[in-house]
Structure 1
Amino acid sequence: MASKAPGKPAVAKPDKPNAAAPVRSGEVPLLSGGNPQIAKGYGDAPVQAYIAAMPGWKSDVGRRLDALIERAVPDVYKAVKWNSPLYGIEGEGWFLGIHVFTKYVKVAFFRGSSLNPVPPGQSKQKEVRYLDIREGDALDEEQFVGWIRQASRLPGERM
């Protein structure tokens, strides 16, 4: 992951939050694998636009993940960058990202190798670990919330 630019906060707060209108999945272009093409933006609105545009069953997964993240970290800071929702602590960096693929939703824990237990999906990046959620998978919500809480306490990724 890229380092932050000198003199800029790790998770920048814009002067004005984005005022994105609700989006239906048919109104947003889908990139390779069905990933919604949502403009870069900070705050809840662009993340909710991304979730609304996730195709089929993946939108339900996105809503559930977002709700669990908000429950675990009430002061979570959100953004959409690189066509992926990111979750972080303002001024501390990002701890989690979500991305849509053809057959699954990928949750990236940017410091996942430090979580206990370590999420199952390995990465080419030493610290990143993934959780892939496929249609019909039962999400262990207690474990997921535990990972979120742990991840939110670690130094965030500066992007």
Structure 2
Amino acid sequence: MKRILLSGGNPQIAKADGDAPVQAYIDAMPDWKRNIGQRLDALVMQQVPHARKAVKWNSPFYGVEGQGWFLAFHVFTRFVKVSFFKGTDLQPVPPGGTGKEARWVDVHEGDFDEAQMVDWIRQAAAKPGWGKS
């Protein structure tokens, strides 16, 4: 399958539910960003083994059945944006965001705070998320 990268190096992956499209997205992530995608996926599955996965809007989404989506990530030129849909409920609140509830962190090369990410994943998965899963 030919890898198509959109603006900023974001992989173009068709909207679909399940692990396979998420893995296709991660496999298509360029350079060091692929390692971030692999690590995020592994951390979510370690902390939330029953997590539901999908690709929507060219981004992997993670959720809990009946509770909605709690996390998504997206590739940009110089970073991977990790979004928490109810981020204002997390402690500490992730630094990025201007919307009502969503907050995010931009992960740059060599700047992945795994302990903080695990804490946010645990907190986010325990709360009602965005949309219906």
TM-score after normalising by structure 2: 0.95
Aligned positions of 1:69-148 closer than 5 A: 69-123=44-98, 125-137=99-111, 139-148=112-121
Cα offsets for 1:95-149 (capped at 9, x unmatched)? 00000001100000000010011111123x1111111011121x22121111111
Runs of at least 4 residues off by over 4 Å: none
**Structure 2: runs of 5+ lacking an equivalent:** none
**Structure 1: runs of 5+ lacking an equivalent:** 1-22
Larger radius of gyration: 1
Of 52, 55, 59, which residue of structure 1 is paired with 2:34? Answer: 59
For 2:61, the aligned partner's letter is: L
Q: CA deviation at 1:42?
A: 0.7
How many angstroms apart in 2 are the aligned matches of 1:158 and 1:39? 19
Alignment RMSD, CA only? 1.1
The match for 1:5 is: none
How many angstroms apart in 1 are the aligned matches of 2:3 and 2:12? 6
Q: CA deviation at 1:68?
A: 0.6
- Three-state SS of the structure 2 residue aligned to 1:51 is helix
The match for 1:158 is: 131
